[in-house]
Structure 1
């Protein structure tokens, strides 16, 4: 599929984000947010198939070609949400839709709940709420996170002698992806270093969260969303086995065959997700 893609860089004052732009200038404004340790190329197959949309697919902070947060800072969900609002202001978008996968879907839900007047549509791919915790575990979790943060200075990123080795490592990651998906992510994710290649992503992204919402807090965000929403559930993904959670949702839900990265792993998955979202946005 030969589709023109524009590069974009947005200076938000506190950080600079990079990304890709798809679709006509007069299309419905959409900000697309990828998953954990991925980048804007997560939407390389899906975005060209979506009609009537002006999609800005960002490398979120610490990912891809975007800047890392300064020393001492972290990657809290609220900080990502702030980045997105600032990015919308740079784009001149008072109101916009959100298209999110995994971590990007979680951030999208929280932002739509927090600022319902800003978000027109919510299109989610196999993501909804963050991992939750129990109140009584809060101190233990903070201690674990602080110890991991202190150990980070002694850790070194993996270096691969060839780009192909880096691609193979991504294929076998915590969430496996197809070779084609890994190659697309590597285009924005791998960088040359002494001795070979390494992934660009900030090492702090692998640190455990110092605090988690309770299940009730997380679901309160979901219930506070005012805009239309559509959730694609991957049949072999992360949400399909959480039937109790899915039964509580006010969104339209569609279950499609494939794994967690069904929109990126192959052309068929991208087409199925696109057909779903084109109907949702009214451009079928």
Structure 2
């Protein structure tokens, strides 16, 4: 648990919002701070929103105004992303570090129960948290994501993942390359070129929080060590995945975009077998506590079509709470 000082050493900036007061907070952590945005009254049931890899808390700006107003929504920037402090030199960005950050935020707000809303990698972080701390999570909402990362060839690949993570971290640290400076137009073009699922409006929204203005233009806020995400993830084999998912006490909703990350219509999609097996495990394990919805759209469906996504989330959030926890 965090000392009380962590929940009181906040800086705050507030502005009006359709859900009430929107606060910008900084939660103190040993390496600096975790930046969060808050919509609604903090006395309401909390929903912690977790963004995707290289994104930031602004990715929920379009969605949250359409969600039920009797909840408190908190969107955090993971370490090294958005307005949160970069990890200290020598400390790599491992998957479980982000799960630990979620626990720090939960402690700072003194929550005992909450719901989690995660997009992409944020969903994987939220899923792992819900498996580690099952008694704390009422509902888990995954946007084009899965609760865990399953690799059917884990025994073969795991050492390669770990080795490349270490090598890439050392390479970036040794290079000491200063961050690139771009004009707003160049920065947006670069982002949209690398991410075809984003439209211009959504790209600009992410860059508002993801860049800092300097005399010559804009620089990215995120840590350069985050450039190779696949080597920071914790993949699991089938048996460990099944064991972990059996610990879930939360109700789980997966909203899958038809043209998103997991496209089961493609015969050669390497993620297809793992994704379909994951769905089978969730259905058989959670039964009535699992919902799966497919909708037209791409990986950023929650930004491109927020009302459609919000309608699905609304009925799930306002549905009955969990009644029959799974056995640990």
Scaled by the length of structure 1, the TM-score of the pair is: 0.90
Q: Distance in 2 between matches of 1:210 and 1:112?
A: 19
Select which of 256, 270, 274 maps to 2:306: 270
Number of residue pairs matched by the alignment: 281
Secondary structure (helix, strand or coil) at the match of 1:72 reads coil
**CA displacement at 1:224 relative to structure 2:** 2.3
Q: Distance in 1 between matches of 2:196 and 2:234?
A: 21
**CA displacement at 1:103 relative to structure 2:** 0.7
Select which of 23, 36, 41 maps to 2:40: 23
Q: Distance in 2 between matches of 1:53 and 1:182?
A: 27
Partner residue, 1:244? 276
**CA displacement at 1:58 relative to structure 2:** 0.4
Asked if residue 228 in structure 1 is aligned to residue 251 in structure 2, the reply is: yes
Structure 2 unpaired stretches of 5+? 1-15, 265-271, 284-289, 320-328
**CA displacement at 1:149 relative to structure 2:** 2.4
Asked if residue 150 in structure 1 is aligned to residue 170 in structure 2, the reply is: yes
Secondary structure (helix, strand or coil) at the match of 2:115 reads strand
Partner residue, 2:287? none
Partner residue, 1:130? 149
Select which of 216, 221, 242 maps to 1:200: 221
CA contact (8 A) 1:146 1:210 kept: no
Q: Distance in 1 between matches of 2:66 and 2:232?
A: 38
Secondary structure (helix, strand or coil) at the match of 2:231 reads coil
Secondary structure (helix, strand or coil) at the match of 2:37 reads strand
Partner residue, 1:190? 211
Q: Distance in 2 between matches of 1:15 and 1:221?
A: 31
**CA displacement at 1:49 relative to structure 2:** 1.1
Q: Distance in 2 between matches of 1:2 and 1:22?
A: 7
Bigger radius of gyration: 2
With 230-239 and 23-32 compared, the bigger mean Cα shift is at 23-32
Asked if residue 280 in structure 1 is aligned to residue 312 in structure 2, the reply is: no
- What does the per-residue CA deviation read over 1:190-232, in whole Å, with 9 as the maximum and x for residues that have no partner? 1124642121111111235267433323443333211111110
Asked if residue 47 in structure 1 is aligned to residue 64 in structure 2, the reply is: yes
Structure 1 unpaired stretches of 5+? none
Partner residue, 2:124? 106
Q: Distance in 2 between matches of 1:140 and 1:74?
A: 16
**CA displacement at 1:270 relative to structure 2:** 0.2
CA contact (8 A) 1:159 1:195 kept: no
Scaled by the length of structure 2, the TM-score of the pair is: 0.79
Secondary structure (helix, strand or coil) at the match of 1:247 reads helix
Secondary structure (helix, strand or coil) at the match of 1:36 reads coil
